[in-house]
Structure 1
């Protein structure tokens, strides 16, 4: 039999892989519209996207494990999704945010995924690439550990 840990890790890795494949498809559609993107850096962009996806599938697992209904899970995820996206710096520069928002932005894994992709594809970003990838690695490791522990301790009702 497969352990609970292996089961949830497989699920998170699978979901993250699907998210990265979706990102690659979007990139393939967008590239002809913006041919100035640095396609040579695509493998590192994929790594950053995978780490970002792992972080969010881990967060989703933690939330799902604590919820009693699918509707409750969807409600919480919807409440978190938009603020997470807006706090990532994807639409609004972090350095112009109020101080309290900056704190939220810097604990958001998407911030580092967006910044890494920006650096790699356009040559400009807020932080530095090594910092982005390092923090994504740290955040995803912490979140995967929390998710597997939470799932392992969960009881089935």
Structure 2
């Protein structure tokens, strides 16, 4: 009970900070919107060999990848805010409080998850006039998958931020990790276009499973193996990331 209360208190504080400056929610969706408006219309001839001839089919392929992209980038760069709190002494002052160290992490990560879901809703609504159609139940399950990705990536970002404690080190590190992960996940174009060796390498990338699962849900294929595979892999990795980052918080706040 105390853990839940502590997590809620941390979440409330972090959410209040976000609401005081909501412009960051819209800044976060600006680049995905540009992809949605300026890049997606070019995909019709590229995706024709896959049988995607209508606008609805094209956006059911493109939008899920765009949402996963948003979840990955939105989570991996949350550590910058934590470094600012470290510099301001916020984490240091937490040493004298009885707040659970795990709650210090989860409260922040849940704020990031809610922020991501708000951005995902904006992107989904904006894609509807372009022809996107998706069943509500499948959409909610896809949002659950996105939430797990955001939880995992934000936890990793916070844990790394506690280790490096410098924006100059965190930025190139996160970019170095994010670049191959994104290219090997088939976010902008399905990996069916890729050479066989690249497809085999991508099978070791957990985000490629998440993208396939999200696309299956948007296509209405709830029973597709990619759905439960993506959910299980993402859930396992999110649990590992939260456990590791929570231990990093426990070491830093004693």
Q: Aligned to 2:186, what secondary structure does the other structure show?
A: coil
Structure 1 residues 61-102: Cα deviation after superposition (integer angstroms, max 9, x where no partner): 221111131221122112222222111121344463564774
Normalised TM-score (structure 2): 0.54
Alignment match of 1:91 (pick from 188, 191, 195): 188
Q: Which residue of 2 aligns with 1:20?
A: 117
Structure 1 stretch displaced more, 42-51 or 14-23? 14-23
CA distance in 2, matches of 1:118, 1:83: 20
Change (3 A) 1:41 1:148: same
Structure 1 gap ranges (5+)? none
Normalised TM-score (structure 1): 0.82
CA distance in 2, matches of 1:55, 1:61: 10
Runs of 4+ in 1 over 4 A off after TM superposition: 97-101
Structure 1 residues 27-53: Cα deviation after superposition (integer angstroms, max 9, x where no partner): 111122123333441110110110111
Q: Which residue of 1 aligns with 2:204?
A: 106
Q: Aligned to 2:187, what secondary structure does the other structure show?
A: coil
Q: Which residue of 1 aligns with 2:103?
A: 6
Q: Aligned to 1:106, what secondary structure does the other structure show?
A: coil
Deviation at 1:121, TM superposition (A): 0.5
CA distance in 1, matches of 2:233, 2:118: 22
**Is the aligned partner of 1:139 residue 2:237?**
yes
Higher CA-based Rg: 2
Q: What is the total number of aligned residue pairs between the two structures? A: 155
Structure 1 stretch displaced more, 62-71 or 97-106? 97-106
